[in-house]
Amino acid sequence: MQILIFGSPGVGKGTQAKILASKLNIPHISTGDILRYAIKNESELGKKAKEIVDRGELVPDDIMGEIVKETLTDPKCSNGFILDGYPRTLNQAKILEEILKTIKNEKHFLIKLDADDEIIIDRLTNRLVCCKCGNILNKSDVKENFSCPICNSLNSYAKRADDDESVIRRRLKVYHDTTAAVFDYYKDKAVIIEIDGTMPIEKVTEEIILKLVEN
């Protein structure tokens, strides 16, 4: 089963991708993770990417596409995968289609988690992240002398710099501007499943599984 998961920043696509990967027994492929892995392991592609990242530039589509291809052709993805964070643009979508032609090209499922922008803004401006383990909580749940429920670190929660409202609004605009063309591209290439991403996590997972079974 080949799944692409989409959604605006903060809608919970990473969380759902991890849950689905566990339930469906297929790997969760986060493009941010595989890029960092390639750089850390100093592969040829990783070295090229590192030079670009060190200059403060975005990794070009052709190099990112090669890193994605390297990952998806690994035997661990032979039974499918959940791709999180890619493709983000029409050009990346076209690159991915060429990659999938070189491997077992099964039916694609594109899962889109929907949420109103104002709900996303409220969610992100009120979240705090553990500086030690990355766990996320609403700031109303983090009190003085609070210990992280995951790693037990004391007073380790802080607001991320990119969770400022003006930054979030810019990220949402970029998301809407770039992904509209991607959805249009996949209309006749994938089974598109749209889910209300503002529901409780368990309910979102339940709805996704139901739609996957139906299709």
Active-site residue 123, yes or no? no
- The answer to whether 28 touches 84, Cβ cutoff 8 Å, is yes
**Dihedral in degrees, nearest 10, Cα atoms 21, 205, 105, 66:** -60
- Beta pairing, strands 81-84 & 2-7: parallel
Catalytic annotation on 13? yes
Q: Give the SS3 label for residue 188.
A: coil
Q: List the 136-138 sheet strands across, edge first.
A: 136-138, 127-130, 157-158
CA distance 63 to 70: 11
Catalytic choice (36, 50, 159, 171): 171
Catalytic member of 50, 88, 132, 211: 88
Catalytic: which of 139, 160, 169, 173?
Answer: 160
Active site members: 13, 88, 127, 160, 171
